[in-house]
Amino acid sequence: MIDLSLLRENPDLFRASQRARQADVELVDRILEADASRRQAISEFESLRAEQKAASKDIGRLAGAAKKDPSQQGAFEQAKAQAAQLAGQVKEAEARAEQAQREQDELTSRMENLIIDGVPTGGEEDFEVVKTVGQPRDFEAEGFAPRDHLEIGEIVDGIDMARGAKVSGARFYFLKGHVARLEQALLSMALDYASRRGFTMLTTPTLVRPETMAGTGFNVKHDDEIYRLERDDLYLVGTSEVAIAGYHADEIIDLSDGPLKYLGWSTCYRREAGSAGKDTRGIIRVHQFNKAEMFVYARVEDAEAMHAQMLAWEEEMLGLCELSYRVIDTAAGDLGSSAARKFDCEAWVPTQGTYRELTSTSNCTTYQARRLNIRERTPEGAEGKKGGTRMVATLNGTLATTRWLVAILETHQQADGSVRIPEALRPYLGGLEVIPAVREAGSR
């Protein structure tokens, strides 16, 4: 949720943000109008309520006077009638104020987060490349054509799409043997890596309530990516970010010793609505996958530095996997509602001849915390006066996920279809250096 006081003070800032996102600029003015109506309705209610309180005092005084002097009975009855009429007006004014609040809340819930200065304007294709790291492997110089990850997975008997589809439908799969172990090794390495950097591991729920999903910034009514269990009114998460964001909902947390850092370990689910015909081969775009997700609660003034640090950690993990990659600054229109800025790390996928997203890290500033009411205490003021509270910033970033297998298998494949395991992962696989081919690789 946006900072409404900042919007009142500087609506042009929000108009520019909406314009950069290619979103509804007029929404800013509708929120301002709703806010003015809400404040007017509250003022009318409070004024009538004050009159009602004064009238109640008059009734008490006139009741006492009427007992002593029967001639005051008429004034007493008239005051009671006026008070009854006023009570009806107060009730109506209160209803108008509540309705105005609901209308404003509905509009503000649709407003996306205010972007950070420097975020590229535009849509999905308008990102800016921050840097490129590593040189894609030259398979031609090595004398063989690369196979895609699914063919490699079949050669090493590690990916079974056919039985996944038989059991659960399209875009489901089985990982087997060494490839299944490789996924676990990758996630375990991410856990160890994060633990050494002060993260606390959380095994998170994969089903959450609608208020938790909405609090994170997802539109549960209109987001076709989300799986819903209607009977229980619960939602399957597409990232453990959702559960961890709700972990401290309605709490005042202590950031005096620095940010709170969690690593969520979970299975994730996405419907992949609208992706018909895209990445149907293999495990690039699937309905279910596993992920290790960083989530950080930080002070507002520390958020951008924390964001840069999280990006650096993602890059180190990619380096440990010996992958070539690039970092992009995502354009405003491709951020998602909660992110104020997002960097993606895209690894080179040899058979596609392009970079594909493996990680992203987002600075959500106070947007999620406002929706979920997560605050920290401010320092005590002068003369020992008690401090107040303020919203915190939230950040998230992927440290490892199933999709990484695509880049690892293709980048480190060998001519016979076997796969060389990156050195950093070998201790998590009992020292295994190569995933062997179990059937002869076909010619390309």
One of 171, 181, 270, 370 is an active-site residue; which one? 270
Sheet with 234-236, strands from edge to edge, namely 207-208, 234-236, 227-229
Here the tokens at position 156 are 């090493």
Instruction: Answer yes or no: 285 catalytic.
Output: yes
Question: Which tokens hold the place of 364?
Answer: 């959500």
Greatest Cα-to-Cα distance within the chain, rounded to the nearest angstrom: 114
Residue 360 among the catalytic residues: yes
Residue 396 assigned ligand-binding role: yes
271 is in an annotated binding site: yes
362 is in an annotated binding site: no
CA separation for the pair 56, 46 (Å, rounded):
15
Is 286 known to sit in a ligand binding site? yes
Cα 393 to Cα 391: distance, rounded to the nearest angstrom: 7
- 359 annotated among ligand-binding-site residues: yes
Catalytic option among 357, 377, 390, 426: 357
Residues 112, 118, 123, 124, Cα dihedral to 10°: -110
HSE at residue 182, side-chain half, CA atoms within 13 A, is 30
Active-site residue (options: 17, 188, 266, 360) = 360
DSSP string, 333-347: GGS-SS-SEEEEEEE
Radius of gyration of the chain (CA): 29
Calculate the alpha carbon distances from 407 to 113, 291, 384, 425 in Å: 32, 15, 57, 14
At 413, is the secondary structure helix, strand, or coil?
strand
Active site residue 270: yes
Q: Is 240 annotated as a binding residue?
A: yes
Q: Is 121 annotated as a binding residue?
A: no
Pick the catalytic residue: 19, 49, 96, 285? Answer: 285
Q: Is 412 annotated as a binding residue?
A: no
197 catalytic per annotation: no
User: For the purposes of burial, counting CB atoms within 10 Å of the CB of 342, is it exposed (0-12), middle (13-18) or buried (19 or more)?
Assistant: buried
Is 361 annotated as belonging to a binding site? Answer: no
Q: Quick one: tokens of 58?
A: 């008059």
Q: Left if phi > 0, otherwise alpha if psi is -120 to 50, otherwise beta: which for 256? A: alpha
Strands (E), 123-222: 128-133, 159-160, 174-175, 200-203, 207-208
Please give the C-alpha separations between residue 142 and each of 138, 145, 287, 349, in angstroms, as whole numbers. Answer: 7, 9, 35, 17
Angle at 43 between CA 38 and CA 44, to 5 degrees: 100
| Residue 352 annotated in ligand binding | no
130 assigned binding-site residue: no
- From the candidates 112, 403, 410, 418, give the one annotated as an active-site residue: 403
CB 287 within 8 A of CB 272: yes
Q: Is 225 annotated as a binding residue?
A: no
Q: Minimal CA–CA distance to 238: which of 290, 306, 297, 314?
A: 290
403 is catalytic: yes
401 labeled binding residue: no
Which residues participate in catalysis according to the annotation?
A: 270, 285, 357, 360, 403
Binding residues: 239-241, 270-272, 286-289, 293, 357-360, 396, 398
Binding residues for L-serine: 239-241, 270, 293, 396, 398
Binding residues for ATP: 270-272, 286-289, 357-360
